[in-house]
């Protein structure tokens, strides 16, 4: 199991969603869909034949309804978390708040921790 763990981590549902849907829709302005994309309610397995290859690939596909449900649930949960904590992540806080009058609404945990800069100097 340990030997294939590094390979399997690339095929977790979250990683597939990020790589195949989020990244492809942003960077390539598209992702693959078929008729089932609009019909199915839950994640499904489909075979794909790509134009550049003669091999038929087995693919985990995410339908539109499932993506919309995930989006709606994520927004709902995020909204509840914001209301419960009464804190905003830094990028949102910078856009909405006055730094002098509303510093109490900044979520300190959203500020990236700085890293030491390491420079190698040749001999």
Mean pLDDT of the chain: 85
Q: What mean pLDDT do residues 31-35 have? A: 80
92: its two tokens: 């949102």
- Judged against a pLDDT cut of 90, whether residue 17 lies above it is answered with no
Report d(CA 43, CA 65) in Å as an integer: 10
In 1-123, the DSSP E strands lie at 44-49, 56-61
The structural domains of the chain, with segments of one domain joined by +, span 1-31, 32-110
What pLDDT, on the 0 to 100 scale, is given for residue 122? 72
What pLDDT, on the 0 to 100 scale, is given for residue 24? 79
* pTM attached to this predicted model: 0.64
3-state secondary structure of 34: coil
3-state secondary structure of 27: helix
**How does pLDDT run across 61-119, given as a tens digit for each residue?**
889 999 999 999 999 999 999 999 999 999 999 999 999 999 999 999 888 877 777 77
In 3D, which of 6, 2, 4 has the Cα closest to residue 15? 6
């Amino acid at each position: 199991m340990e030997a294939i763990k590094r390979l399997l981590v690339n095929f977790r549902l979250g990683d597939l969603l990020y790589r195949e849907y989020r990244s492809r829709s942003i960077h390539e302005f598209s992702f693959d869909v078929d008729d089932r994309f609009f019909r199915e309610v839950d994640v499904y397995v489909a075979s794909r034949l790509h134009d550049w290859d003669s091999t038929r690939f087995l693919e985990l596909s995410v339908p539109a309804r499932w993506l919309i449900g995930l989006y709606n649930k994520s927004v709902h949960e995020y909204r509840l978390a914001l209301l419960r904590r009464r804190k905003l992540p830094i990028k949102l806080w910078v856009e909405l708040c006055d730094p002098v009058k509303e510093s109490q609404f900044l979520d300190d945990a959203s500020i990236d921790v700085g890293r030491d800069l390491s420079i190698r100097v040749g001999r």
